[in-house]
Amino acid sequence: MKRICSLLLDAIFQGNGFFIGELIMLTTLAGLLHHVVSDWDQPPVEMRPLGSIPIKEYAIETPLEKSVEKEAGFIYEVKIDFNTRSSISAINFVLRDEETGSWYQHKGTDFKVPLTNISNDDGNTVETKQDFAIWPGTLGHLSNMLQKSDGGNSKESTQKRNLSYEEYDIVKQSLVDNSMSVCIKRCPEFVNNLLHIETDIPGDVVVHWGVCKDESKKWEIPTGPYPDKTSIFKNKALQTHLQKKEGGCGCSGLFPLDAGIEGFLFVLKVNNNTWVNCMGDDFYIPMSNERNFKKPEHIGEENVSTSMKLDSSQDVSTNTDELINEIRHLVIGISSEKKRKTKSKETQENILREIEKLAAEAYSIFRSSIPSFKKKPESESESKEAEPDLKISSGTGSGFEILCQGFNWESHKSTSWYSELQDKAAELSSLGFTIVWLPPPTESISPQGYMPKDLYNLNSRYGNIEELKSLVNKFHEVGIRALGDAVINHRCAHSQNQNGVWNIFGGRLDWDDSAVVGDDPHFQGRGNKSSGDNFHAAPNIDHSQEFVRKDLKEWLCWLRKEIGYDGWRLDFVRGFWGGYVKDYMDASEPYFAVGEYWDSLNYTYGEMDYNQDSHRQRIVDWINATNGTAGAFDVTTKGILHSALEKHEYWRLSDSKGKPPGVVGWWPSRAVTFIENHDTGSTQGHWRFPGGKEMQGYAYILTHPGTPSVFYDHIFSHYNSQISTLISIRNRNKIHCRSMVEISKAEGDVYAAIIDEKIAMKIGPGHFEPPQSGPHQWCLAAEGNDYKVWEAL
């Protein structure tokens, strides 16, 4: 599933010192090309391929066309003609995946094809790179094909031509710490073998798989039966959604396989946008000799550290219930597909009971053939549920965090906000908050702190450095961790350059204009083009500069040591590539980090679209670029809650697959859910939550997965006791960032869901009561204006 972008530069000498050129780009990525000439200017009309459309005033968007079909799929192509005698020095471009909306650059910057080397030498030769007459690499010998296609040209003998070739890897590579195990169990008494895949990779994991019947490793679709949630993918493979494990920490799947196959081939797709393979190749599990597994060092594009385990000779002690649950997963559409109407509920339950009987009868035969997952022994007197293992990471904290925003837009007007907040530390701890987000601590042109100047000057409108240290120490005493608000996208200058532009910095970080991005005309920076969106009120920092990253990493580490911050809230992360954030997180090693990636949702004629996948995809892409070292505020969920509550459109709270429609539905462990903050609410009110419906919003985010964030103004208001009750329910039932959501109802006037089979909730004026006839009895635990929450007894 590796994606390649290959460039072939073809220049032809036509005589009289005149050259024409052709840039051919081929890629395995189906999508759109955004391209410009020189320093992001629109190319002239004669250089624009058919189907191109202008993008604002600086680029052209061109669709890629199918060119050649390979075994792995189509290769897509675009040709751009140019005149080598023109003043154009280069063609810059980026790629956008039409399927996922993801953008692709080259190591955080634009692809750039220089054209200045294609010139004449005394009017006789073409200066190009040599030794590329044959197209190497993944795409095959395509240059030969291109040259052969011109073989019939009668003018070929009078023209001189040469080729320049470059190949770029456009996958996003990142290092994460996840594992995967594969177990094969032979069933000599039966035809089928069982292959079990288990991984702790977070999010939605889909296995694209097939089998091979000889050593060619050619993918074939096997005969059924298939696991639950399996479908055919492009008539070449099967795709199966792995089942989430209890607690949400990973997923697994069981695959029945016919005897006689040679091997099992597969790759993984995570959160519908990241392919995981084995160092660029498919995972291959030999079936004829399972003991000869090799341990790959890395897995494909995420470089996931992997352990391929086989346990066919172990003494297995699996109980009947585990086997029954696995068989349940193999029954397609009976218990999990709610929309299926071909069988009545009673018929479906009868089928399940028959399967359970068969499973119990066959248990003694399968006893030595089913993968075992040993549980820690529990004493007879132990009645409490075992505490889940806590795996700390900067993107999630412990997974049980509840965040408090400890200020609003007017907090700087306090005599000393740090002292005022310190007096509330014990109360915030008693309410159940585990993390507090503090305001920006640095000297700033704006009193709120979001126009920083001298990063090492921590005397701000909120208090001085000693008061800040005392505040952080107090929070630590009461068991709350503190986040610093790190504003590192932009920085206000200390002085002007020779043109009168403010882009020269002072203080300990006395940068010059080379620290400012070069594509913001307001501040005349000499740095590289920005890797994100520009913030036009202050000079945007060029994070591609090594000295800038070195200084910022030292500053973050200094704040950790000097002040005692436990992590970061990162301001305006749309402005710089998430890969730089990973660098900063690796250096400063925070307990918890969250980025503010805020852009507009999708609207049509003023009406919010139901499908907001492209919006949440942009946030997920940023998180992925950080390699999951930081979470992100779930702006998608906030926006959808607005429309759902304002217009009684609660159906919006379930996406087309029956999952939560925000980031929390795709990558819950990295979603920081919120309904208000200092920008959207407070005295700014840029995007205020629907008035009087705030508790419906909190009933949603405090019962659902993700890491909920509660706004200061709501904590210290008449909502205090209701918020406290919801936090208590969340903590009492150990709801965490990876908890499982089963949406029970999403209609015009009501939304209802059951979380981890421990909590049931509903918001909206419509009716919902959790079923009292199932495995749980429910007790009402909290209620308010158009919301209710129940706990399982």
Which residues are marked as active site? 571, 596
Q: Which residues contact 273 (CB under 8 A, 6 or more apart)?
A: 100, 102, 617, 620, 621, 624
- Euclidean distance between CA atoms 197 and 431, whole angstroms: 41
Choose among 703, 692, 585: nearest CA to 637. Answer: 703
The answer to whether 468 and 441 are in contact (CB under 8 A) is yes
- Phi first, then psi: what are they for 478, rounded to 5°? -95, 10
DSSP label of 255? E
- Phi first, then psi: what are they for 554, rounded to 5°? -65, -40
Ranges assigned E (strand) in 382-512 = 403-405, 435-437, 481-486, 495-496, 502-504
Q: Which long-range contacts (CB under 8 A, 24 or more apart) does 353-361 make?
A: 355/324, 355/327, 355/328, 355/331, 356/324, 356/327, 359/320, 359/323, 359/324, 359/327, 360/320, 360/324
Whether residue 377 is preceded by a cis peptide bond, meaning omega within 30 degrees of 0, is: no
CB atoms within 10 A of CB 367: 15
Choose among 264, 246, 252: nearest CA to 388. Answer: 246
Ranges assigned E (strand) in 479-602 = 481-486, 495-496, 502-504, 567-570, 592-595
- Euclidean distance between CA atoms 452 and 509, whole angstroms: 12
Q: Which residues contact 367 (CB under 8 A, 6 or more apart)?
A: 316, 318
Q: Which residues contact 87 (CB under 8 A, 6 or more apart)?
A: none
Three-state secondary structure call for residue 215? coil
- Euclidean distance between CA atoms 311 and 443, whole angstroms: 60
Place of tokens 């706004």: 711
The answer to whether 727 and 702 are in contact (CB under 8 A) is yes
Could you tell me which residues are beta bridge partners of residue 782?
789
Q: What burial letters (b/e) apply to 161-182, b meaning 16+ CB within 10 Å? A: bbbbbebbbbbbebebebbbbb
The answer to whether 677 and 405 are in contact (CB under 8 A) is yes
Three-state secondary structure call for residue 389? coil
- Euclidean distance between CA atoms 162 and 748, whole angstroms: 65
Q: What burial letters (b/e) apply to 329-364, b meaning 16+ CB within 10 Å? A: bbbbebbeeeeeeeeeeeebeeebeebbeebeebee
DSSP label of 681? S
Choose among 534, 584, 557: nearest CA to 456. Answer: 557
Q: Which residues contact 40 (CB under 8 A, 6 or more apart)?
A: 58, 59, 92, 519, 529
Three-state secondary structure call for residue 167? strand
Supply 212's token pair: 């091979």
Three-state secondary structure call for residue 48? coil
- Euclidean distance between CA atoms 570 and 543, whole angstroms: 14
- Determine the length of the chain: 793
